[in-house]
Each structure stands twice: as structure tokens, then as C-alpha cells.
């Protein structure tokens, strides 16, 4: 069983729709939760990160974490064609301390989203 | 502020050739990382460097070596390229708060 499972999609929605992207995880040691957006032939771009259960909002994006259920979601309101991309959930476990700390990211497989006009 | 930069953007090698992928960051981050991304396999960690002067293996280190040249630069070397190393390679650096990682634009490598 993979440590992080992401709804594979693909998703195709009309412009203006609300999009829900979801991941589950099995490792309780994950400390922080992130969402990346990756456009075709580009590097992953960090969208949001959070560490506690609950919601975090940034413009049209809301990240939701439920640690008791080991479940995270990303909601996109009023979706736009420019939101068309692959969305990757990622979970990080930190090691070390201070200037020698580092994080090991575990990614979901990604969900391809297409928003059509 | 360029963030994370990578060179080259594209490369074609023949089996057995060697090459070095370059990565630099201007965000004054301590940790840096190399990943490869393959269809169906997602992003996998090759090597990481927690700080200048230290490096360590990730999930898929075989066939690769790294050098943390200074705080800004972290290079990945393929000593004898194999077709299985055909992939897109991403470098990332770890931020100051939660080691949130910022990625470069990637290098597309094909090994014939």
C-alpha cells in the first residue's frame, strides 16, 4: 500500500465550477501537508501548505486537513481555464534541527485537471 | 530573485556517456534536493543535502552522485548513463519554515 494515495482523475469541469481534489495517507509521522500545481513541461509550484487539522484559505483556494481521518483536500472556487494543470498533494516529515534540518516529501500520483471555457 | 535554476533544460546522451546537471538557488536555503519524475512513478527523491557539506541518499540513488559545492549550488552527476535514467530531473530547495520545497524548471534527459 502506498503511503499517499491521490484520486487519480482526470477531472474535466466547466469554468466557474468548484473543484475538489483529495488525498489520503497512512503514515501518522507526516507533519506538514502541501499542494503543488504543475503545468505541462514545468516544475511543481507550491500552492499551499498547512500543518494542523482544519481549513486554510488563500484566494480561490482552500486547503483542508483532517488528521484523524488522514485525509486532505484542496478546493478551487470559481475555477478558471488557467487552473488547468496537474495537482500534486505532498506530505513532509522533518528530520534534524536548526540549520541542518531537512524534509522528506512523499507525493501523491497527481490529478490532471482541465477547466474548459 | 530567480528562485531555483537548473541547467541544461534538455539533454540527449548515449548509453555510457557522463554528464552533470547543475542547480542553484538564491533563497539562502540550507537544504537542497534532487528528484526524478517518471510517468506512473511520480516524483522520487534521488539525493538530498541537509546543509552545505553534507549529502545523503534518497529513494533511488543508484547510478547517481551529487556534490554540494557551496550553499547555493547542488549538482547531480551521471557517471555512465543508462536508458533507465531517461527522465525529467528536478532540483528543489527547502524553505525556512517547514522545509517547504521550491522546485526548479527541470531538465529533460533522454538516454539512447
Q: What is the pLDDT of residues B58-106, one digit of tens each?
A: 999 999 999 998 999 999 999 999 999 999 999 999 987 778 899 999 9
Q: List the beta bridge partners of residue A93.
A: A104
What is the share, in percent, of chain B residues with pLDDT greater than 70? 100
pLDDT surpasses 90 at B12: yes
Are B103 and A32 within 8 A, CB to CB? no
Confidence of residue A1 (pLDDT cuts 50, 70, 90): confident
The distance of A80 to chain B (nearest Cα, Å) reads 23
Whole-number pLDDT of residue B2 = 81
Q: Lowest-pLDDT range, A2-11, A55-64, B10-19?
A: A2-11
- Which has more confidence, A113 or A95? A113
Confidence of residue A102 (pLDDT cuts 50, 70, 90): confident
Long-range contacts for A55-64 (Cβ within 8 Å, ≥24 apart)? A61/A35, A63/A33, A63/A35
Over residues A90-112, mean pLDDT:
87
Whole-number pLDDT of residue B42 = 86
Confidence of residue B40 (pLDDT cuts 50, 70, 90): confident
- Please check whether residue B67 is in contact with residue B77, taking contact to mean a CB–CB distance below 8 angstroms: yes
Whole-number mean pLDDT of chain B? 94
- CB atoms near residue A99 (< 10 Å): 10
- For the four alpha carbons of A68, A44, B63 and B24, in that order, the dihedral sign comes to negative
Confidence of residue A16 (pLDDT cuts 50, 70, 90): very high
Are A42 and B105 within 8 A, CB to CB? yes
Task: Show residues of chain A in contact with B90, CB under 8 Å.
Answer: 43-44
Are A103 and B105 within 8 A, CB to CB? no
Whole-number pLDDT of residue A97 = 76
Are B50 and A102 within 8 A, CB to CB? yes
Whole-number pLDDT of residue A95 = 87
Whole-number mean pLDDT of chain A? 93
Q: List the beta bridge partners of residue A101.
A: none
Whole-number pLDDT of residue B76 = 98
Tell whether A34 is within 8 A of chain B (Cβ): yes
Amino acid at each position: 500500500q502506498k503511503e499517499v494515495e491521490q484520486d487519480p482523475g482526470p477531472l474535466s469541469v466547466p469554468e466557474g465550477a468548484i473543484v475538489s481534489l483529495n488525498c489520503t495517507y497512512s503514515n501518522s509521522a507526516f507533519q506538514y501537508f502541501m499542494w503543488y500545481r504543475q503545468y505541462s513541461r514545468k516544475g511543481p509550484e507550491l500552492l499551499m501548505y498547512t500543518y494542523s487539522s482544519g481549513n486554510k484559505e488563500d484566494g480561490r483556494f482552500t486547503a483542508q486537513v483532517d488528521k484523524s481521518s488522514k485525509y486532505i483536500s484542496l478546493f478551487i472556487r470559481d475555477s478558471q481555464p488557467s487552473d488547468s494543470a496537474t495537482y500534486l498533494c505532498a506530505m513532509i516529515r522533518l528530520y534534524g534541527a536548526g540549520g541542518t534540518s531537512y524534509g522528506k516529501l512523499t507525493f501523491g500520483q497527481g490529478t490532471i485537471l482541465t477547466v474548459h471555457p | 530573485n530567480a528562485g531555483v535554476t537548473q541547467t541544461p533544460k534538455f539533454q540527449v546522451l548515449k548509453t555510457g556517456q557522463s554528464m552533470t546537471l547543475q542547480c542553484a538557488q538564491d533563497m539562502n536555503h540550507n537544504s537542497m534536493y534532487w528528484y526524478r519524475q517518471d510517468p506512473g512513478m511520480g516524483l522520487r527523491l534521488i539525493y538530498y543535502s541537509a546543509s552545505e557539506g553534507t549529502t545523503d541518499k534518497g529513494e533511488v540513488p543508484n547510478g547517481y552522485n551529487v556534490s554540494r559545492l557551496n550553499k547555493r549550488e547542488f549538482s547531480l552527476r551521471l557517471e555512465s548513463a543508462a536508458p533507465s535514467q531517461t527522465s525529467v530531473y528536478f532540483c528543489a530547495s527547502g524553505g525556512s519554515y517547514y522545509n517547504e520545497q521550491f522546485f526548479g524548471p527541470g531538465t529533460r534527459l533522454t538516454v539512447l
